[in-house]
Structure 1
């Protein structure tokens, strides 16, 4: 029955600033109202709603104000360079600074390569690529470079 995630929503303090930021990520504007905008993540399949509000300062928790964008394994290799070219600061996550990202999340029995950054309102954004599914090998969190050297 469920085929995937169709939409997610984030609060933003300034819609025009956020529109500019998300366009830099390559997302296509799908719909706009006075205090709401939707961007296609995958056209016709999934989109992101941004709601302008004065209530953006909700304390951060991973269950709130977080979006993970699925990317290909090949794209994650160039994600840091691409974000740097766009002037987007990579966020230190799980003790891994920008020099040590993307990192590999050992969500055993799966593994994902990911890199983290914030939008202008501090919403946590993530580029994530599945790199293995259903493998029983246990391992610690590491950089994606370390992961590739082990393969």
Structure 2
């Protein structure tokens, strides 16, 4: 019955600012803006493939987390520079001061995090080939390679 996740929604404090961030900074495309409520919908990927809803909330903003699918190569080679060029601060899951992407060994998946202007925690993630190794926890990509090649 369920084949995937089509859309998710986040609260933002300023709809105009959020639309600008998600379209101009991250490259999503405006799909629809509701003329009666402070809500906008953005396409992620190809039109009608995936959608993000932005809901303006002036009080009691509740930041959320969601991840954008990406390729392993883009995460390893471009994500940190891309984020820094957009004046965004990349960080890893451990929040240990490193800006290097990390591997969630149980999946396995490679990921790097950043925040939108409202504190929503965003992520670029790529599922890696091979079986998960939950016993390894969360580790640097280079360490993942060492652990899985031995």
Common topology (TM > 0.5): yes
Alignment correspondent of 1:17: 17
Q: Which runs of 5+ in 2 are unaligned?
A: none
Q: Pairwise CA RMSD of aligned residues? A: 2.0
TM-score by length of 1: 0.83
After superposition, give the CA deviation of every residue in 1:25-58 in whole Å (9 maximum; x if it has no partner): 1111111124111111122121000001113533
Q: Confirm or deny that 1:36 pairs with 2:39.
A: yes
Q: 1:10 to 1:133 in 2, by over 3 A?
A: farther
- Out of 39, 45, 48, which is 2:49 matched to? 45
TM-score by length of 2: 0.84
Contact persistence 1:103–1:115 (CA under 8 A): yes
- 5 Å-filtered alignment, 1:128-143, equals 128-136=125-133, 138-143=135-140
Q: Determine the C-alpha separation between the residues in 1 that align with 2:22 and 2:109.
A: 23
Q: Which runs of 5+ in 1 are unaligned?
A: none
Count of paired positions: 143
The structure richer in helix per residue is 2
Q: Determine the C-alpha separation between the residues in 1 that align with 2:128 and 2:92.
A: 21
